[in-house]
Amino acid sequence: MKPAQKLTAFKTILSKEVMRFLRIWVQTLVPPAITMTLYFVIFGNLIGSQIGDLDGFKYIEYIIPGLIMMSVITNSYSNVVSTFFTAKMFGHIQEMLISPVPNHIILMGYIGGGMARGLIVGLIVTLVSLFFSSLTIEHPIITIAVVVLTSMLFSIAGLINAIYAKSFDDITIIPTFVLTPLTYLGGVFYSINMLSEFWQNVSMVNPVLYMVNGFRYGILGVSDISPVASFSLLAVFIVALYGFAYYLLKKGVGIRS
């Protein structure tokens, strides 16, 4: 395919993906807004008012970056895992497999779709948070870079999950048993300085901790982790997982018998 044709193919996949979650916005965009409003009310206002400052910030101010990040992660992941898996189950992935669209374009199209959903939800949650707290962003470029890279990383992860999934159960197992615990334990609600040294060390192997703290650094200027560590980790994971996803697609794992 010529570069112009590749671009057309990419735009096709991306816009198809974006149209899909926009068409069913009640299922894709509204739920995170509602859940996060509840989090803000309960953890931020009700319980938060009983908790003192954290790193010099009110509790609600401290958890807002974490909660935005949590929505971005889950929505990027679940967008790609469900749409790629459905394409596999109902067979319309074959429309792409028979055509000359390169694997890189398929990957980038789906990842782009997951990122679009994750980032739009992130924006919605940010807007909702304005009802509960004011927001000043300390380092805008870092903030945007971290959230974009994180949504990219979890879109790729969702795609890999979908490639291996054989049933609808398989696309909920990883989010429930891996993704949710990692996010909850990834410093969304607390600073790891509150933990004993042992648990602090255990927390350091959780990649989500680096992203949440990177994002919190961007917004508040405070973090348990150095921003350099956050970016390095994101870069390494993205390259590794993208390479792996490309390999799986090229081999036809789960999609070509």
Q: Which residues bind another protein (CB under 8 A)?
A: 1-2, 4-6, 8-9, 11-13, 16, 86-87, 90-92, 94-101, 252, 256-257
Do the Cβ atoms of 209 and 123 come closer than 8 Å? no
* Shortest Å, Cβ 147 to another protein: 29
Q: Which is nearer to another protein, 90 or 131 (CB)?
A: 90
Q: Phi-psi bin for 136: left (phi > 0), alpha (psi -120 to 50), beta?
A: beta
Binning the chain into helix, strand and coil, the percentages to the nearest 5 are 75, 0, 20
Q: Six-digit token pair at 136? A: 């000043």
Q: Which is nearer to another protein, 163 or 188 (CB)?
A: 163
Residue 12: is it exposed, middle or buried by C-beta count within 10 angstroms (0-12/13-18/19+)? middle
* Shortest Å, Cβ 124 to another protein: 24
Do the Cβ atoms of 5 and 94 come closer than 8 Å? no
Do the Cβ atoms of 17 and 113 come closer than 8 Å? yes
* Shortest Å, Cβ 166 to another protein: 13
Q: Which is nearer to another protein, 53 or 95 (CB)?
A: 95
Q: Which is nearer to another protein, 10 or 242 (CB)?
A: 10
Q: What are phi and psi of 29, to 5 degrees?
A: -105, -30
* Shortest Å, Cβ 34 to another protein: 24
Q: Which is nearer to another protein, 45 or 99 (CB)?
A: 99
Q: Please give the C-alpha separations between residue 240 and each of 46, 220, 234, in angstroms, as whole numbers.
A: 42, 30, 10
